[in-house]
Chain A
Amino acid sequence: DGGITQSPKYLFRKEGQNVTLSCEQNLNHDAMYWYRQDPGQGLRLIYYSQIVNDFQKGDIAEGYSVSREKKESFPLTVTSAQKNPTAFYLCASTTDDNSPLHFGNGTRLTVT
């Protein structure tokens, strides 16, 4: 079955360390997205990519980086420059029309 896989489900890191969250899809979708969700809040857009080797900053890109070397993969790196990285991170993808987003199950990152 096609879908989006985010790994790991839970991730723990020490402050000052970079960490990379994985997002893989086998839906042949062009567009991929990373969102951050804090408790009781909405989804805030970090980065998105419309095609391979191209991506755009979202509303809260500072302290994050991404790459899109393959259509199926859109990893997110949370750098030590991100002031408050502890959050729930959701990856999503969709085709190039009004199709709905397909979401992964999310990664809960805790930085101490």
Chain B
Amino acid sequence: AQTVTQSQPEMSVQEAETVTLSCTYDTSESDYYLFWYKQPPSRQMILVIRQEAYKQQNATENRFSVNFQKAAKSFSLKISDSQLGDAAMYFCAYRSAYTDKLIFGTGTRLQVFP
């Protein structure tokens, strides 16, 4: 069975600085998709960024980028120029391309200080 692990329950960053959130996963599958979601206090889930496992190039969305290391099964999220609005819970997620099963990690709470 696949698993997703986020080893940092909480992280903090100064406004305008850069922070990296860690995510590792375990799978025997070769084709899958990886996602980072943000959950603010409203509890609405918001997609931050996604990565296809067959793509070697790391995904980038404005201030958000990932470091995807397929062999190491690592999928970290880098937030550059952090803003107060980035404060939220961040969840890493894995979706099987074979079964559509989609699972989440336990989350990292990010605090942003002015």
Contact = CB atoms under 8 A, between A and B. Distances in A.
B33 A98 contact: yes
A59 B45 CA distance: 20
A90 B45 contact: yes
B43 A42 contact: no
Contacts, number: 54
Nearest to A33: B102
Q: Classify the interface of chain A: helix, strand, loop or mixed.
A: strand
B28 interface: no
A106 B43 contact: yes
Nearest to A96: B100
A98 B101 contact: no
A101 B39 CA distance: 13
B95 A98 contact: yes
Given A42-B106, A58-B101, A59-B103, 15 more contacts: A37-B43, A41-B107, A42-B91, A45-B103, A45-B104, A59-B1, A94-B102, A96-B100, A98-B50, A98-B95, A100-B35, A100-B47, A103-B44, A103-B45, A105-B44
Interface of B: 1, 6, 33, 35, 37, 43-45, 47, 50, 52, 91, 93, 95, 99-107
